[in-house]
Amino acid sequence: MNHRLFHSLEGENIYFKVLSTDDVQEIHSYASDEDVSRFIGWALMNTLNETRSYIDVMLKRESEGTHYYASIIQKSTQEIVGTAMIFNFDDEANQAEIGYVLHKSHWGKGYGTECVALMSDFAFKSLNLHKIHASVVDANVGSARILEKNKFELEGRLRDHYFIEDKYYDALLFGKIATDSKKE
């Protein structure tokens, strides 16, 4: 797996860098925000030690070759604004899942859309995947919009799939197939 290339992806406004426990304070600023963590599948990080431990888990997964993780850096400020990930690789079907999380103060600025575009390009051109997909809580309208802007198609809905804060939410399943793929 080409982690080095993933860690060096660059767009117009953001770039990726290696995830590091040295950045625990910056990552904790969004990992400890209830509004951010509500719909991303991470438990709320209440302390710096919890965030550091979770970064260690992510680094272990990446070293085992099962996940790609990168910190998302805003070019103009050099600030960490989020985390990008590719995971749940299915070698037989040649596909994987993508995910992303952004600091709340950077929502609505196009960084998520640019992040997904960078990951999509990497997944299809460098990893030669046939398909990438993402699962989104239906209440997370911003995340769904990011996928739609990147030409992901809504492929399905799993009713009452998530139970968050004593409430059920549907999962929206999005997918994107490599443009040069041919159905056999």
Between 144 and 179, where is the model more confident? 144
Task: Give percent above pLDDT 90 in the chain.
Answer: 88
The secondary structure of residue 104, as a DSSP letter, is G
* Confidence tier at 39 by pLDDT (50, 70, 90): confident
pLDDT at 113 over 70: yes
Cβ atoms of residues 96 and 89 within 8 Å: yes
DSSP states of 3-58: HHHHTT-B-SSEEEE---GGGHHHHHHHHT-HHHHTTTSSPP--SHHHHHHHHHHH
Q: What domains does the chain contain, in order, with CATH numbers?
A: 3-130 (3.40.630.30)
Q: What is the pLDDT of residue 93?
A: 96
Q: What is the pLDDT of residue 94?
A: 97
pLDDT at 66 over 50: yes
Q: Mean pLDDT over residues 128-140, rounded?
A: 96
- Rounded to two decimals, what is the model's pTM? 0.93
pLDDT at 184 over 50: no
Which residue blocks in 64-172 are alpha helix, DSSP H? 111-125, 141-149
From the list 7, 21, 76, the residue with the least C-alpha distance to 50 is: 21
B/e letters for 40-61, b = 16+ CB within 10 Å, e = fewer, are bebeebeeeebbeebbeebbee
Q: What is the pLDDT of residue 44?
A: 86
Element (H, E) at 59: helix 48-63
